[in-house]
Amino acid sequence: MENWGLILGHYELLMVDRDYVNIARLSRVGNTVAHETVHMWFGDLITMDWWSDVFIKEGFAKYWSANAHAYAIPEQTAYAMDYTRFQVYLDALDFDCSPDHCKPMLSDTPPILGKIPYFKGSAILNLLSNVMSPETLQNGLRRYIRKNVNGVSNAEDLWASLTEVCAEDGVKDWEGKDLDVSVLMKEWSYGTSFPILKASATRDGKVTYQLEACLGNISDWKIPVFRGDGTSEKLLWFTGRNGSSPEWSPNLPLFAIDNVRASSFLRIQYDDLCWDDLLKNLKTAAKDHETQGQLLSDALFFARKGVYKWPKFLDLVRAINWEASLTQWRVAFSFMDTFYHNFRYHSEFDRIKMFMMALTQKVYRHIELLDQSKWEIQALRAQLQDHMCRIEHRSCLDQVNLEFQKFATQCANSRHGTAKCVGVAPDYRQSVYCYGLRQNPKSIELVESMRKYFAEKAIYFNRDGEKLLHAMSCINDTSKLNGYINLVISGELPETIIQYIGDNEVTGQLLFEHLNKNLKQRYSVALYWLFFALLLYPTGMFSSLLFSFKTLVDDGTLRRMRLSKTYHCFRTNKGYSLFEQMLLSLPGGCTVFSGEFDSWKFFPFYS
């Protein structure tokens, strides 16, 4: 936490071991220090007058920490500010459409320090920066600080200072009047969730927009939307249920895209006619990675909700000009991970792999030629390597095989960890250890020995211990893997290896067979890790798993397994609904794709 002139925190949030830290952890430490430093202005110099206004402390620190971080290391601005801010924006959309997290930004509803004041607060400040301009926002904040220095304040004090500078700088609202920030922020602050604009076209080419809410009731939002065609942008205001202006009744073709640069806080849903038109103009109207990332995120959101059919989403994937940008690939890795886990044991999985390889390999090859000192490039290259090796891309497997053999030779006699002998930067080590060991199974004793070294010696930082534990789950030796499960149950290995086995074991049967074989003998807390890993397995296994649960219910064994703790664990992750079905002995399974993947016509370029 911050104190005036003194930052206190857990050492893992403030310190790193440079021999072992990856880019994500390094950035997290830098961002934490920046976040707590911002609190010396927003939190210490001025303190909120009650917890309902915690946004003016935490939202500001979440937003401005990216600027502070980039100021300290300007050569890493693409990652420290641009990517980080986009990542926070997407997280804010997710949290604000989640029943578990959604609440008003200005509220003392528990939890006070939940996700909304931080993430939505940051996103709303980004919205204000775009509407007012960064310079006007900065001037307004200076005035706010001067007025309230060494005192307490609330959001209305902030809005008042911002309103004053808007009048001075000529910032106008939806009626052409000087912008009253308090009026603009009323629904964004005290309402819940965010708006969705639905664009629909008639056969004669007339487009209309309709307002919906992602969760709950529609609020009277005053929605700033930046519309851009790739060369210029203009700010439009959407008010009422249909926009209340001719700008929201255009005709096809649509040469511009709404919410460019993820500059507001909303999602836009297009019907098929508008979508086809948008794709035709995508390369000219959506040149920047933020706009492309926003379109991908919106489309993936609606596909997962069942609003879009998956071929519609994949049409956008095909139309995007994929480059070495984490902003694009953050969404790509999300949907490719979904495809991988839902089709990894499907008879047509080779088609899925061909699709993912074709999407990825151009950037995968090109990224080696780029500046590897840039965090964005190094982090993206590591994720691409892990992805390509996972889908058995030959050149990726050959590369990690060579690097693993060097590691095995150079680290064989190491008594001081892996950093000085592995020869690979920390971001790449997990894929090298995993897919290298899979190709060199005789090196398993070395990997086990090095993991044990870190378990005993790495007191303050995990270093490579968790990566080596993960690698142990990558071998194809079923007797070894079953042995690891038994070691978890006896308390000799961390429980996380069971989750890793579920991720990496190639048959799709091992964990289920182990559970089924030992169902009435193993009653330890490790059981819920088995369930979690099994949820990553294919649909066909759920009927057998449910049958096993029914057997337990019938003979009363289930009541002796401390399921309350298991149930609690599952409430906090994506496995909860399926686990609940198991407890109720109901039929269920993975229905993410609603059956439409029976047809492979959405892969026309691999038919």
DSSP state string for 422-454: S-S-HHHHHHHHHHHHHH-GGGHHHHHHHHHHH
User: d(Cα 369, Cα 366) in Å, to the nearest integer?
Assistant: 6
The answer to whether 157 and 176 have CB atoms below 8 angstroms apart is no
At 100, the amino acid letter reads D
The fold of 11-190 is Neutral Protease; domain 2 (1.10.390)
103: left (phi over 0), alpha (psi -120 to 50) or beta: beta
> Alpha-carbon distance 109 to 103, whole Å?
8
- Cβ neighbours for 104, distance < 8 A, ≥ 6 positions apart: 116, 189, 190, 191, 192
pLDDT over 60 at 342, yes or no: yes
- Joined tokens for residue 54: 């915690």
Q: How far apart are CA 434 and CA 430, in angstroms?
A: 6
Cα separation, 208 vs 246, in Å, equals 10
Average pLDDT over residues 93-118: 95
Dist. CA 317–CA 592, nearest whole Å: 19
Mean residue pLDDT across the chain: 87
Neighbours of 145 (CB within 10 A): 15
CA atoms within 13 A on the CB side of 416: 4
pLDDT at residue number 508: 79
Helix (H) or strand (E) holding 13: helix 11-14
Of the candidate CATH numbers 2.60.40.1910, 2.130.10.10, 1.10.1060.10, 3.40.50.1980, the domain formed by 193-321 belongs to 2.60.40.1910
* pLDDT at residue 533 in the model: 52
State the pLDDT at residue 76. Answer: 98
Q: 248 near 209, Cβ under 8 Å?
A: yes
Per-residue model confidence (pLDDT) at position 569: 33
Q: Tens of pLDDT along 186-237? A: 999 999 999 999 999 999 999 999 999 999 899 999 999 999 999 999 999 9
- CA 532-536-542 angle, to 5 degrees, is 85
Q: Helix (H, G, I), strand (E, B), or coil: what is residue 503? A: helix
* Coarse DSSP helix, strand, coil percentages of the chain, rounded to the nearest 5 percent: 60, 10, 35
Q: Which of 429, 426, 438, 430 is nearest to 392 (CA)?
A: 438
State which H helix or E strand residue 18 sits in. Answer: none
| Predicted pLDDT at 64 | 97
Average pLDDT over residues 501-517: 82
Cβ neighbour number for residue 602 with a 10 Å cutoff: 17
Same topology between domain 11-190 and domain 193-321: no
pLDDT tens digit string along 443-482? 999 999 999 999 999 888 889 999 999 999 999 999 999 9
Could you tell me the residue ranges of all domains in the chain? Answer: 11-190, 193-321
pLDDT of residue 461: 84
**% of the chain with per-residue pLDDT over 90:** 75
